[in-house]
């Protein structure tokens, strides 16, 4: 007995098969019968669809996302309500999510992570410029298309009240510290989540982990992340500065915009061994040497035994020319290699602006990391890597640690109790604590 075919959703979208599901929504592969194209349809969960406030926020988030036109953001085509089935029609991306990729491959390569990070940072920058905040960026929201492009989806999830449905552990893993303390998400919260995604893509694990949301939140609020270069061999140290700045607990010390993050990632990509996009170049075709004319042998009666002296001289000439060519090539390569190496100047003790200018004047790129220091006045560089006097590739990154002032000691009488969507609990205690500010660094349902 054949099943009665389901009528097109909204009289337009023919659902073909389910792609993914969660407590919040189900996602289907569908065919747009009016335009004759495949689309992705997200249908809000039945319980949520019965809540008028959730439906209205869902509609507002869809309309806001539809107003942003950027090739790195999944396009929203339509929104509708078909007899209680609240749905959004959006661009279908042919490829897995970052979550799927990390589950299968555990982690991405350095170059692939840089490319992914640049695209996500640019997508966030475009959305933030339009006044749109994601608010719940996670690996499932980053889609890695099979054509090499990267797209971000589900903007406005937090605004629509759907973020908490992902579960408290997921929220504690990727949400910013201020979100976990009950503050609303903003552009800086999205950049924090980007830092968590970059770290996980490089190392295979999020920056802070634990058995439950409370443990993860406590570690995020109190511990410093293990540098990605220390956790995974082969990760360039320049990545640590970018990720540390993105994961700053203080939002004001993070990157200001996604564009700044993208710029630093591109600069980092130019200094790693494998370029960001290495074009395939054909090797030059060297025309073969013209064949020497074949001498016509003399008539047999006049044949004479020829001396070997001429052949020896010719062989010596050829050998000398070959050796000379090799020497010239080696010298040119040595000079080329030397031209790519520059000496790192000494800037410890200098002001931050002056130190950065000195580094850049030497043909290098400077990245500053504020950090408390009791021996150097605020604004002075107290450490640099690579060290002064060493050789470094031209254009490579020099990390400068700048004193943010001495460590401060404060007395806390009673800690405040805050409530957040991650179900974290705070404790009340009376103690004396030493506060050290950490250095800055930097399909979906």
Question: Mind giving me the DSSP string for 64-107?
Answer: HHHT---TTBPPEEEEEEETTEEEEEEPPP-S-BHHHHHHHHSS
Per-residue confidence (pLDDT) for residue 45, from 0 to 100: 85
Candidate from 309-318, 338-347, 385-394, 423-432 with smallest mean pLDDT: 423-432
Which among 41, 37, 36, 38 has a CA at the least distance from the CA of 21? 41
- Distance of alpha carbon 374 from alpha carbon 58, whole angstroms: 51
Contact between residue 24 and residue 162 where contact means Cβ atoms under 8 Å apart: yes
Arithmetic mean of pLDDT, 6-15: 91
Q: What confidence tens digit (pLDDT) does each residue in 192-227 have?
A: 999 999 999 999 999 999 988 889 988 998 888 999
At residue 367, the pLDDT reads: 76
Structure tokens at 189: 């919260």
Q: Which residue has better confidence, 272 or 193?
A: 193
pLDDT of residue 272: 73
Could you tell me where the DSSP H helices lie in 341-424?
A: 352-361
Residue 386: cis peptide before it, omega within 30 degrees of 0: yes
Task: For residue 307, name the pLDDT band (cuts at 50, 70, 90).
Answer: low
Task: Give the model confidence (pLDDT) of 326-368 as tens digits.
Answer: 544 444 444 444 447 888 888 888 888 888 888 888 888 787 7
Q: How far are the Cα atoms of 23, 316, 353, 443 from residue 80, in angstroms, in the given order?
A: 20, 86, 54, 21
pLDDT tens readout for residues 12-63: 999 999 988 877 788 999 999 999 999 999 998 888 888 888 888 888 888 8
pLDDT, tens digit, 9 for 90 and up, residues 104-163: 988 999 999 999 999 999 999 999 999 899 988 999 999 999 999 999 998 876 666 665
In this predicted structure, which of 139-148, 245-254, 334-343, 396-405 has the lowest mean pLDDT? 334-343
pLDDT the model gives residue 408: 60
- Type and span of the H or E element at 27: strand 25-32
Q: What is the DSSP letter of 233?
A: T
Q: For the chain, what is the mean pLDDT?
A: 78
The pLDDT tens digits for 364-378 are 878 777 788 887 888
- Cα angle 393, 395, 400; round to 5: 95
- Token pair for 2: 């054949």
Chain Cα centroid distance, residue 108 = 10
Quick check: 435 pLDDT over 90?
Answer: no
Contact status, residue 92 vs residue 29, Cβ threshold 8 Å: yes
Residue 378: the pLDDT is 87
- The pTM score is 0.61
CA distances from 417 to 88, 429, 433 (A): 38, 11, 18
Residue 166: predicted pLDDT = 59
Tokens describing residue 204: 């295979």
What tokens appear for 36 in the block?
């004759």
CA-CA-CA-CA dihedral for 60, 63, 69, 75, to nearest 10: 110
Inform me whether the pLDDT recorded for 251 exceeds 80.
Answer: yes
pLDDT at 342: 85
Distance CA 236, CA 232 (A): 10
- Token pair 């399909």 is at which residue? 443
100-105: which pairs have CB atoms within 8 A and are 24 or more residues apart? 101/144, 102/139, 102/200, 102/201, 102/204
Query: What mean pLDDT is predicted for residues 305-314?
Result: 57
pLDDT above 90 coverage of the chain, percent: 36
Residue ranges of alpha helices (H) inside 247-351 are 258-269, 309-340
Tokens linked to 74: 């999944």
pLDDT of 288 over the 70 cut: no
- pLDDT at residue 292 tops 70: no
pLDDT in the model for residue 372:
83
| Token code pair at residue 419 | 């409530």
């Amino acid at each position: 007995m054949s099943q009665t075919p389901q009528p097109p959703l909204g009289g337009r979208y023919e659902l073909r098969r389910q792609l993914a599901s969660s407590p919040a929504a189900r996602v289907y592969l569908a065919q747009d019968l009016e335009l004759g194209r495949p689309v992705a349809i997200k249908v809000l969960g039945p319980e949520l669809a019965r809540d008028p406030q959730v439906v209205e926020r869902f509609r507002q988030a869809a309309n806001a996302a539809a107003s942003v036109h950027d090739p790195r953001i999944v396009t929203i085509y339509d929104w509708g309500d078909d007899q209680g089935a609240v749905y959004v029609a959006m661009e279908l991306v042919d490829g897995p999510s970052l979550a799927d990729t990390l589950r299968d491959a555990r982690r991405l390569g350095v170059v692939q992570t840089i490319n992914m990070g640049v695209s996500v940072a640019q997508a966030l920058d475009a959305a933030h410029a339009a006044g749109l905040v994601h608010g719940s960026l996670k690996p499932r929201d980053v889609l890695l298309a099979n054509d090499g492009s990267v797209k971000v989806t589900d903007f406005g999830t937090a605004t629509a009240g759907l973020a908490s449905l992902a579960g408290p552990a997921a929220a504690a893993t990727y949400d910013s510290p201020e979100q976990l303390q009950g503050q609303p998400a903003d552009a800086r919260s999205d950049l924090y989540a980007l830092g968590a995604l970059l770290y996980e893509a490089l190392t295979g694990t999020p920056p802070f982990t634990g058995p439950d949301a409370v443990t993860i939140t406590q570690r995020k609020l109190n511990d410093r992340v293990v540098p990605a270069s220390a956790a995974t061999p082969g990760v360039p140290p320049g990545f640590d500065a970018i990720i540390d700045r993105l994961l700053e607990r203080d939002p004001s010390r993070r990157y200001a915009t996604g564009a700044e993050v993208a710029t630093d990632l591109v600069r980092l990509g130019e200094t790693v061994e494998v370029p960001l996009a290495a074009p395939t170049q054909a090797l030059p075709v060297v025309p073969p040497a013209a064949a020497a004319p074949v001498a016509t042998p003399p008539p047999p009666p006049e044949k004479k035994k020829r001396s070997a002296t001429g052949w020896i001289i010719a062989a010596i000439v050829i050998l000398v020319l070959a050796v000379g060519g090799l020497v010239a090539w080696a010298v040119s390569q040595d000079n080329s290699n030397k031209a790519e190496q520059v000496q790192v100047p000494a800037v410890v003790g200098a002001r931050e602006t002056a130190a950065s200018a000195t580094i850049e004047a030497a043909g290098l790129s400077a990245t500053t990391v504020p950090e408390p220091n009791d021996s150097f006045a605020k604004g002075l560089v107290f450490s640099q890597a690579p060290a002064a006097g060493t050789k470094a590739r031209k254009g490579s990154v020099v990390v400068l640690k700048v004193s943010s002032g001495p460590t401060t000691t404060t007395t806390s009488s009673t800690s405040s109790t805050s409530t957040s969507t991650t179900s974290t609990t705070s404790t009340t205690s009376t103690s004396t604590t030493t506060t050290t500010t950490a250095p800055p660094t930097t399909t979906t349902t």
